[in-house]
Amino acid sequence: MRAKVAEHATLFYQDGAVVWDDYLHHRQFAISETAELLCRKFTGFTDVDELLAPLEEADRVALRKVVDELVEAGVLVVEGSPRHEEERRLVAGWRGWGPSARHFHFASRTLADAPYQGSDEHDAALEAKLAVEPPPPPFRSTGGPAVPLPPLPEAPDWAGRGLLDVLLARRTTREFGDAPVTAARLGELLAVLGGPSPTRSRIGRTGTVFKTSPSGGGRHPVELYLHARGVVGLDDGWHHYDGLAHALEPIGVCWGPAEMAAAAGDQDWVGGAPVVIAYTGLLERTRWRYDTSRAYRVVQMDVGHLSQTAYLVASALGFGIGFTAALRDELLEQALGCDAYHEVVLGMSALGPLPE
């Protein structure tokens, strides 16, 4: 029998134990020090009998028992077995993205027997949670000086464009013109993106809020940061958008084109944009309601919904816009003051006047 360590799992240390995390089948269990050391002999397919042959009989019998237990547990995969075929297909399908991507996907994939609460049961659980753990607020302010933005007009001049016209006009723009951009115009965009819906502005007891883009459970974890350069009525630099107050809060960091391009994976077109919107995710907003790993996927979906709204509103306003997720997260975290363990960088939209 030839066997090797399974590739659809990882090891980590927890509370003094070595934990085997089989993310493909959603199993976690501790393994012994002997088992951990033995696994190192099976990094590739290895003949078990040949490996154990030089040992004394008592040691050989003892270690063969451990090997058999590891095979039974799926820690070791036997060459030619159904598990080997399953793993071969997994690795082949995800080979270009490596172990981290497949770990994320399959660890947050729901299996056939995954339990789900009914709506009444879920509401009751949230009600009980409210008594001991208040939800995080759906809007955030830095608490510093803020630049109030003009309120969104009841009938903006750009709102008369038909939805189909805007959808067909939507393009990713990587060149921008020289026409001035005003803070008032940006305020209209931000109000639609990040403010509460003017028709349903009430904040729920559990922290839910309605906005123009959908969000899992109404949690809206995505925060908006805006970098301005040459915008009329607004100082250059990074600002945080307070959606409840409809105001921009200066952060005190101003980037030049080279710094912006570096944060955007060396994309010069992002560095040349007069306006850049960075999207981050406050994970606790979503995690408070959904405590399963799959909810992290929902945060990623939320920024997709929101960036599409940005595309459509910017197009209706006559701006060019482009989204990118090719970022150097750490540079943005440092500039925006994000705690990477709680607020994650998700993407950026660069926008400005269309070139003539």
**What integer pLDDT is reported at residue 334 of this predicted model?**
98
Q: Return the bridge partners of 228, or none.
A: 237, 275
d(CA 313, CA 190): 10
Cα-Cα-Cα-Cα dihedral sign, residues 124, 128, 133, 134:
positive
Amino acid at the residue 343: E
Query: What is the biggest distance separating any 2 CA atoms in the chain, rounded to whole angstroms?
Result: 87
What residue segments make up the domains of the chain, in order of their start?
A: 2-107, 138-353
| 316-330 mean pLDDT | 97
Q: 């630049």: which residue's tokens?
A: 147
pLDDT of 311 > 90? The answer is yes
Residue 151 to residue 204: CA distance in whole angstroms: 23
pTM value?
0.92
pLDDT of residue 201: 81
Output DSSP code: residue 266: S
Here the tokens at position 244 are 């409840």
Query: Residue 81 has which token pair?
Result: 């077995």
Within 8 A by CB and 6+ apart from 236, the residues are 228, 229, 230, 254
What is the C-alpha separation between 198 and 200, in angstroms, rounded? Answer: 6
The token pair that represents 64 in the structure block: 């063969």
CA–CA distance, 184 with 39 (Å, rounded to integer): 63
Work out the number of other CB atoms within 10 angstroms of the CB of residue 314. 26
pLDDT in tens, 45-93: 999 999 999 999 999 999 999 999 999 999 999 999 999 999 999 999 9
Report domain 2-107's class. alpha beta
Say how far apart CA 95 and CA 93 lie, in whole Å.
Answer: 6
Tell me if 264 sits within 8 A of 324, measured CB to CB.
Answer: yes
Q: Is the pLDDT of residue 172 over 90?
A: yes
- Mean pLDDT rounded to a whole number for the chain: 95
Q: Check whether 199 has a pLDDT greater than 90.
A: no
Could you tell me which CATH number the domain at 138-353 has? 3.40.109.10
Q: Which residues, in sequence order, are bridge partners of residue 17? A: 14
Residue 312 reports pLDDT greater than 90: yes
**Cα 217 off chain centre by:** 16
